[in-house]
Amino acid sequence: MSFGVYQALYIVAAGLFILALKWMSAPATSRRGVISGEVGMLLAVVATLLRHEVVNYEWIAAGLIIGSAIGVPLAMLMPMTHVPQRTAISQACGALASALIGTAEYYRLKPHGFIMGALAIEMLLGFLTTTASVMAFGKLHEMLPSRPITFKGQNIVNLGLLGVAVAIAVVLVIHPEYSYLFPIFVALALIFGVLMIIPIGGADMPTVIALLNSYAGLSACSMGFALDNKLLIIAGALDGSSGFILSIIMCRAMNRSFTNVLFGGFGQIQKSVAGQEARPVRSATAEEAAGILSDARTVVIIPGYGMAVAQAQHKIRELHDLLTKRGIDVRFAIHPVAGRMPGHMNVLLAEADVPYDKLIEMEDINSEMGLTDVTLIVGANDIVNPAAQNDSGSPIAGMPILDAYKSRTVMVIKRGMSPGFAGIDNELYYMDKTLMLFGDAKAFLASLVKEISANHD
């Protein structure tokens, strides 16, 4: 094998990808990481264009231009609350590319043995990730119901379908010339992607998005084996391991296993809840809540997906600024699975100009919750539900929670008394120290801000 310019560029590109991930570890160096990744990708594209096999440039140029024309608005015009959707749809594009390349390679070479095996894995993961990501997009964008849809024998049907797809792939590896089987294989992979997402509910999306991210990477990695391209293997493996480790972190933050997330149909409304009588809660007006907040010395704000839905992050920052100016210590407690993708809350609060040293992780803030005067919960439910610790029969038993119940006063901004994603009642709402602030998160925060700046200055 001769060693030319493009191989050298590929090695540099691989190194830059590794540096990109290394620099991503801290906010101070993270933008350098993105630049490193961009340069790496540019080198990889240029190196590929220089290869002597590539002679026909019109289609490539057209593809690069059209892709950029779609990609730029997709990135620049998307509101930050829609980042999970964007990630899902972008992932679908990447996976589709990988799957189509596999298809083209199959029809071109009809390869035997190892290469066909690698192509089969590439296409299986690529096609199923494509439809699964599109479905995830639909659920996140609320074009599809975000509650899980389950039916009897669902897991058997799904696994059976996957089993048949794998079996066909094995036949194709042994007899690549049976090309009539190929469309069936593709169709099964596409259908499996759809079926895989149907039973998954909105709050499990962080895990699933991360897992699909991993699949897309592994698909690119298999392509690397099929094309004997080490750069693809390295970049694909980096992405594969990244997605995998993130989904493990998400599972751990919910005290659930992979199998439970993928096959559990979690988050259906529990029948038992409906039978209970309405229990009394204490509620408060914006005026009363404003008074309590301005008299506090330490305040912890716990945001959840409801904050994103209500677009309340800017009002939260106003409240934070106002209280901070009065000498009150305000911090944010971030649960790892709050929102619809890993780290979702941090991005939204950063968008609203909340300094990131105020965003505290669960393990670090829980020990201080007992010393907190007021905890303000905005659009979060299951992640502060004490049932996770006290009720071993609860669906969320054992899930690590933010210990909001330990603080002196708890305030919950909520539309009504409907249960959270897990469909279970929250003991926290009925505690004596809890005040329910009923209303739209954004509107309620606005009136809090108004009350505090008008009456408590």
Partner 1 sequence: MNYEFGFYVFMLAAFLGFELIRKVSPLLHTPLMSLTNAIASISVVGAILISGEKDATTLSRVLGFVAVVSATTNLVSGYLITDRMLKMFKKRGPAKK
The smaller minimum CB distance to partner 1, of residues 34 and 157, is found at 34
- Judged by CB under 8 A, the residue of 33, 264, 303, 304 near partner 1 is 33
CA dihedral 350, 353, 356, 361 (to 10 degrees): -60
Take residue 110 and report the two structure tokens written for it: 């009809």
158 binds partner 1 (CB under 8 A): no
261 binds partner 1 (CB under 8 A): no
* Beta carbons within 8 Å of 44's beta carbon, 6+ residues apart: 9, 10, 13, 231
The smaller minimum CB distance to partner 1, of residues 236 and 265, is found at 236
**Angstrom distance (rounded) from CA 427 to CA 405:** 9
The smaller minimum CB distance to partner 1, of residues 100 and 190, is found at 100
Residue 392 CB, nearest approach to partner 1 (Å): 28
- Judged by CB under 8 A, the residue of 62, 143, 157, 273 near partner 1 is 62
Question: For residue 248, with 0-12 CB atoms within 10 Å meaning exposed, 13-18 middle and 19 or more buried, which class applies?
Answer: middle
Active site residue 295: no
Of 162, 156, 210, 230, nearest in space to 190 by CA:
162
Take residue 169 and report the two structure tokens written for it: 């792939």
Tell which positions 274-313 bind partner 1, by CB under 8 A.
Answer: none
Take residue 287 and report the two structure tokens written for it: 């005026």
* Beta carbons within 8 Å of 322's beta carbon, 6+ residues apart: 449, 452, 453
Span interacting with partner 1, options 57-65, 193-201, 281-289, 297-305, rule CB under 8 A: 57-65
Give the total of residues touching partner 1 (CB under 8 A). 113
Tell which positions 315-344 bind partner 1, by CB under 8 A.
Answer: 317, 321, 324-325, 334, 336, 341-344
Span interacting with partner 1, options 107-115, 301-309, 383-391, 443-451, rule CB under 8 A: 107-115
- Judged by CB under 8 A, the residue of 81, 85, 94, 316 near partner 1 is 94
Each residue 63-82 as x (binds partner 1 by CB under 8 A) or -, in order, gives xx-xxx-xxx-xxx-x-x--
How many Å is the maximal CA-CA distance in the chain?
Answer: 80
Tokens 């971030």 sit on residue: 334
87 binds partner 1 (CB under 8 A): yes
Span interacting with partner 1, options 84-92, 192-200, 268-276, 385-393, rule CB under 8 A: 84-92
- The answer to whether residues 332 and 300 touch, using CB atoms and an 8 Å cutoff, is yes
217 binds partner 1 (CB under 8 A): yes
The smaller minimum CB distance to partner 1, of residues 33 and 138, is found at 33
31 binds partner 1 (CB under 8 A): yes
**Angstrom distance (rounded) from CA 85 to CA 71:** 14
Take residue 93 and report the two structure tokens written for it: 């594009």
Question: Which residue in the list 239, 382, 403, 425 is annotated as catalytic?
Answer: 382
Residue 39 CB, nearest approach to partner 1 (Å): 10
Of 344, 159, 144, nearest in space to 250 by CA:
344
Residue 295 CB, nearest approach to partner 1 (Å): 20
Tell which positions 387-446 bind partner 1, by CB under 8 A.
Answer: none
Q: How wide is the angle at C-alpha 91 spanned by C-alphas 344 and 228, nearest 5°?
A: 130
246 binds partner 1 (CB under 8 A): yes
- The answer to whether residues 203 and 421 touch, using CB atoms and an 8 Å cutoff, is yes
- The answer to whether residues 336 and 360 touch, using CB atoms and an 8 Å cutoff, is no
Report residue 61 CA to chain centroid gap.
Answer: 33
254 binds partner 1 (CB under 8 A): no
- Judged by CB under 8 A, the residue of 49, 157, 174, 187 near partner 1 is 49
Catalytic residues: 382
